[in-house]
Amino acid sequence: MSKTTDGFTRYDSADYLSSIDDVAAYLEAAVEEAGEDAAFIAQALGTIARSGNVSELARRTGMSREGLYKALSEEGNPSFATIVKVATALGLRIHFDSVA
């Protein structure tokens, strides 16, 4: 946790994702909240990545740490292949449900 210039501790969701169940629930909530905003989901994956060992995640995905941070940042625009790699490396599975 980092302090802001006014002395308050900055809130970071990554500080509270300590189990795979927390991660799955966080990502599920992000998908619900995102609607059609794919960048929101990528950013949620970035938060999840920061909650663990980013260097290890980068190794498992075959990406550099910097590339991983960039792809999963607010400005990032990762390919679906990158999203699948990251999800798999995190121990998550992507699945789809009918909304009709």
pLDDT (tens digit per residue) in 45-100: 999 999 989 999 999 999 999 999 999 988 888 999 999 999 999 999 888 888 87
Report the pLDDT value the prediction gives residue 100, as an integer from 0 to 100. Answer: 77
Give the other-Cβ count within 10 Å of 57's Cβ: 21
Inform me whether the pLDDT recorded for 8 exceeds 60: yes
Which of residues 2 and 33 earns the better pLDDT score?
33
Report the pLDDT value the prediction gives residue 3, as an integer from 0 to 100. Answer: 62
- Average the pLDDT over 11-30 and give the result: 92
Whole-prediction pTM value? 0.80
C-alpha span between 77 and 70 (Å, rounded): 8
Element (H, E) at 71: helix 65-71
C-alpha span between 17 and 55 (Å, rounded): 17
φ and ψ at residue 9, rounded to 5 degrees: -85, 130
Inform me whether the pLDDT recorded for 27 exceeds 80: yes
C-alpha span between 69 and 82 (Å, rounded): 12
Report the pLDDT value the prediction gives residue 4, as an integer from 0 to 100. Answer: 65
Q: In degrees, to the nearest 5, what angle opens at C-alpha 62 toward C-alphas 61 and 64?
A: 100
